[in-house]
Structure 1
């Protein structure tokens, strides 16, 4: 009898049926929990910045292997055990149909799409095949849609609470070959887009804690409707989510999951010299017919990337502000790749917040409560004694985000900046550079216990 039980546990068909029952229960949970359960506490997770790639990871997997943080990503994906040891989603399920709709339209298969090679015949052939994407290389693969076990701390709005809570999300398996160019040790990607299988969307469906999440790179992320207490010099710790400006989030028909903001113009200012980028009319707008254009946020791109016509106009305006900014000893120097604009590094010091450098202003429209200003540390990068502008022209491989945007705002420009994604109201809160306000992401009250 014991031998019969042992055989049953290792029977591939029995395992497949068991896995399908588990994954079906998870899918049902995702669709029903928010409507039938009490609101659960928000989650918080610390982040890390990889010094080699300048990209960010989140360690929410139960085994703590980090996942690349990808604002544009539609899925959570990771390397997985062999197909006989992980659960699968039925290929005829609604969840599988959603996963296929969310697949990137532009990618190069890392394995030639040979998903079915070496798979054992049997019921597992009806496992849903998802298409995980590496946003750094633009490569993709195919792999089972499965259940991934996660862990994170909850928060009461002021402190990180312990112990961690376990939960599961629907995610995709991927081969190790897809991990190229990701931060060291990364096992996959945590997609944070507005699509229904992203990490924030699944957590909202499970926990019913409000359609919000926040990022404060490179320190932490919160999921759910929670205050974020950061220090101020005059008032001590305050809830920054109530005092920062907000801008509407736009929807792009070609990239419905992306976080687009309504930038209408770009300018540079320094010591009384103001220079607006001479952009063609509508250069930053989204083309509603093709989905091209617009300004989108990305945490999988280290620096802001501009379409060539936009970059030329920006570079001319920035140079103008430097030259006419009444600091006679400033001069352009040969650039170090990948940068295009580098200066001699002799910028004067400010009393409170680093070097005295031009302000770059993203002029927002469509109901934004304030323009978005980039200060020194949000764009300047020290390179071999020079200071280089961390804003780049588009390269020969095109834009790093789907939909051919006009501008991709990268991690350097988002760092040390509290970003609150309110998907109920479809708005983005942005603090701008916290160090200029004598605050910072690493000073959060969450981790003071």
Structure 2
């Protein structure tokens, strides 16, 4: 046997090689605990043909960029596994595993056309849901590598990867009704396998995210802690938010669900709606969630415009059109589908916050907090000099009485604090001389990191 002095260079060489291998997995670098990100940032783009807000992540090994329709109330990430899903790190969730329990899967079985991504024996499943078309099916639960960018709140920083992010395999037909080029939906719902909770667990930060939808094209999604800083003023929007509680609907509102599941969508306690500071007469029972999960108010990114139960819609639009009568330069015009109430804007002045129309206040639970909507978030320009009220009739007995749609909160930052069960909202950023399109996506990244 050789002496230690003889073996030491060989031992050192082995240590160096092993260290190098463990520190470089698929071209990614492992972070130390101190270098874990405090927040992530994802770009948002408004699709011009559908109005859907699209984000992008990278998934699989090797990494593939995926475009996804953002679903604020979606249970989890789901992607089409039927076409071209190739990855050396895809792992199906085995029946009775901790992963199946985490996702609260109630279905387990075999698939005889595999093995392949989306079809393996002895695996559990969830119900990937196209919430745009209200279509759902069964899909294999699995994990794979996902890469996103970290942020300091000002710029994107290092790319970080979560090596075992849970998602559900969807089928190609589920993509119908989604924007061209997307591969699935990014579910941000308040579920253990929702993207905000998963990233919080992977990187050990707060279960919180902030959504800022752009009215024209670009927007931004922060997952984790603030600040949320926008150019050109460098304003930190996280410092001036108003807060109201979030509520849990005891019955799932998804297109399909397992028996006994609660809704993972974001419900708020609206107590009144005011037009020009006058309360609209609304049956208060409709604003409550009953034992069957009906009623209440939720926030949605897949509904382009606010939708109201018929009696609420009629009361609100009556109050709004009466208030519009004080604007003689904006006579009512014929309806333009899907909008019922349209007006001639030829003689209305242009302001920073849209056409000068009656203000609308959404009053929350304790009546001391309200969210004011201005012309830019209430009216839709359907053609030159024609604007329409961007609120739709949801019919009698809808599942949810009021759905606050995406147009109503574009260029408003909404912070969903899952841990504290509260919503923070900024009101329009235009008054702060910025918009949701003004996050600086110029990267300051110097390396790529992986947390294991």
On whether the aligned pair clears a TM of 0.5, the verdict is yes
Band the TM-score falls in, shorter-chain normalisation: 0.7 to 0.9
Query: Out of 264, 268, 274, which is 1:261 matched to?
Result: 268
In the superposition, relative to structure 1, how do residues 275 and 319 fare at CA in structure 2: closer, same or farther (>3 Å)?
farther
Please report how far the alpha carbon of residue 202 of structure 1 lies from its aligned counterpart in structure 2 after TM superposition.
0.6
Cα gap change, 1:148/1:343 in structure 2, threshold over 3 Å: closer, same or farther? farther
**What is the rounded CA distance, in whole Å, between the counterparts of 1:351 and 1:389 in structure 2?**
17
**Which residue is 2:341 aligned to?**
341
Give the counterpart of 2:57 among 57, 60, 69. Answer: 60
Offset at 1:342?
Answer: 1.2
C-alpha separation in 1, matches of 2:222 and 2:271? 30
Q: How big is the shift at 1:393?
A: 0.8
- Contact (CA 8 Å) 1:115, 1:143: kept in 2 or not? no
TM-score, scaled relative to structure 2: 0.79
Q: Match of 1:185?
A: 181
2:299 aligned with 1:297, yes or no? yes
Q: CA deviation at 1:301?
A: 1.1
Listed one character per residue, the Cα deviations across residues 386-439 of structure 1 (whole Å, up to 9, x for unaligned) are 21111101159x85xxxx111111110121111111122211111112123322
CA distance in 2, matches of 1:341, 1:101: 45
Q: Give the distance between the partners of 2:347 and 2:106, measured in 1 at CA.
A: 46
> Mind listing any 5+ residue stretches in structure 2 that lack a counterpart?
1-32, 253-262, 445-452
Hey, what does 1:281 align to over in structure 2? 284
What CA RMSD, in Å, does the superposition of the two structures yield over aligned residues? 2.7
Asked whether the 8 Å contact 1:417–1:430 carries over to 2, the reply is yes
Partner of residue 42 from structure 2, selected from 29, 40, 45: 45
CA displacement at 1:83 relative to structure 2: 9.6
Q: Give the Å deviation of 1:180.
A: 0.4
Indicate the residue corresponding to 1:96 in structure 2: 100
Report the CA distance shift for 1:448/1:342 in structure 2 as closer, same or farther (over 3 A): farther
Going from structure 1 to structure 2, the CA distance change for 1:147 and 1:390 (only over 3 Å counts) comes to same
Query: Residues 328 and 82 of structure 1: is their aligned pair in 2 closer, same or farther, counting only changes over 3 Å?
Result: closer
Alpha-carbon separation, structure 1, partners of 2:440 and 2:382: 33
Aligned equivalents of 2:112 and 2:428: distance in 1?
49
Q: Which residue of 1 aligns with 2:450?
A: none
In structure 1, what is the Cα distance between the partners aligned to 2:443 and 2:113? 51
State the match for 1:415 in structure 2. Answer: 410
Who is 2:314 aligned against?
312
Bigger Cα Rg = 2
Question: 1:95: Cα distance to partner?
Answer: 2.5
Tell me by how many angstroms 1:353 deviates: 3.4
The count of aligned residue pairs is: 386
- Other-structure match for 2:234: 237
Runs of 5+ in structure 1 lacking a partner? 1-35, 104-113
Aligned partners of 1:41 and 1:73: how far apart in 2? 23
* Structure 2 residue aligned with 1:213: 209
CA contact (8 A) 1:212 1:420 kept: yes
Once the two structures are TM-superposed, the CA of residue 97 in structure 1 deviates from its matched residue by 4.0
Which residue of the partner structure matches residue 384 of structure 1?
383
More helix by share: 1
Q: Is the 8 A contact 2:208 2:415 kept in 1?
A: yes
Partner-residue secondary structure (3-state), 2:132 = coil
Aligned to 1:172: 168
Instruction: Summarize the Cα distance change of 1:408–1:196 in structure 2 as closer, same or farther, 3 Å threshold.
Output: same
Task: Rate the CA distance shift 1:148–1:390 in 2: closer, same or farther, 3 A.
Answer: farther
Residues 99, 352 of structure 1: CA spacing in aligned structure 2 closer, same or farther, 3 A cutoff?
closer
- TM-score, scaled to structure 1: 0.79
CA contact (8 A) 2:329 2:345 kept: no
C-alpha separation in 2, matches of 1:125 and 1:82 = 18
Change (3 A) 1:309 1:447: farther
User: In 2, Cα distance between the equivalents of 1:381 and 1:115?
Assistant: 49
Of stretches 53-62 and 90-99 in structure 1, the one that deviates more from structure 2 is 90-99
Give yes or no for contact 2:162–2:202 (8 Å, CA) kept in 1: no
Q: Which of residues 152, 155, 161 is equivalent to 2:148?
A: 152
Distance 1:77 1:308 in 2: 33
Deviation by residue 1:103-157 (Cα, 9 ceiling, x = unmatched)? 9xxxxxxxxxx99474469x93211122101000111122211113322111123
Alpha-carbon separation, structure 1, partners of 2:86 and 2:67: 22
- Where do 1:1-16 residues align within 5 Å? none
Report the secondary structure of 1:319's partner residue.
helix
Distance 1:284 1:376 in 2: 25
Aligned 8 A contact 1:58 1:66 in 2: yes
